[in-house]
Amino acid sequence: MADEADTGGIATQAGAIPSHVAIIMDGNGRWAEARGQARHAGHRAGVNSVRSTIEECIRHGVKVLTLFAFSSENWRRPKGEVSLLMELFLTALQREVKRMQSNDIQLRVIGDISAFPDKLQQRIRASEDATRDNQRLVLQIAANYGGRWDITQAARRLAGAVRNGELDPDDIDEEAFARATALGDLPDPDLFIRTGGELRISNFLLWHCAYTELYFTPVLWPDFDAEAFAAALAAFASRQRRFGQTGAQLGG
């Protein structure tokens, strides 16, 4: 066992900071409705939590942050809400790329972006290109992302390589499959956080969360601040990740 640190009465393994944190940012609509405001106001307020969570990841030494911004099922929402979400995404990209450069943040967008308006697709590609060499934090935005879409597109990609004679089917193992998913060579998430109180995965990183520690909080996304993030990190640090082994094997 690693050294124990005292963080407000919660036993933690010193240094147990997740390398990759993946978050379902849920609860914007309910946050707004509780204030008698339109759902739009909740999405706008949620942008501040995105900014503060990125800062906290950098401060704590998290290396990869994946944020679920728009699921492959969110197209089922009213048209007006879908367009507002697109607009917020576009304006955030326009505004934040400079800040990403000065903070050494690499942006990657995962999901089927071919369904987005051309202007948004171009902006996404330009932002990814501009930040490609940045090292401090990889920020992945999952947009029109679905875990089943990702597994399906990986299978299609591998099948294409087989058809072209570039790949022997016998060489398709878990590692090769993982590389064909949207995460490519990035590590699986160590910590999954869902705000907003729902206890489900909602088609997020299905392949990649096989051994991820799950953390659910009732805090609504616009209220998810540095303190709420620290609570999630403390919960993570108190877990024993066994990956199939026994506690005794791991010395705990």
Among this protein's residues, is 144 annotated catalytic? no
Asked whether the beta carbons of 144 and 114 are under 8 A apart, the reply is no
Nearer to Mg ion, 26 or 213 (CB): 26
Report how far residue 54's alpha carbon sits from residue 141's, in angstroms, rounded to the nearest whole number: 12
Q: What residue is closest to ligand IPE based on CB?
A: 29
Q: What span, in angstroms and rounded, lies between the C-alpha atoms of 133 and 136?
A: 10
Would you count residue 27 as binding ligand IPE (CB under 6 A)? yes
Contacts of 80-83 spanning 24+ positions with Cβ under 8 A: 81/39, 81/40, 81/43
Ranges within 107-146 binding Mg ion (CB under 5 A): none
Q: Is 25 a binder of ligand IPE (CB under 6 A)?
A: yes
Active site residue 26: yes
Interface positions, 10-69, toward Mg ion (CB under 5 A)? 26
CB nearer to ligand IPE: pick between 153 and 202 = 202
Residue 212 near which of Mg ion, ligand IPE, none (CB within 5-8 Å, type-dependent): none
Contact footprint for ligand IPE (CB under 6 A): 24-30, 68-71, 74, 85, 196, 198, 200, 202
Residues annotated as catalytic are: 26, 74
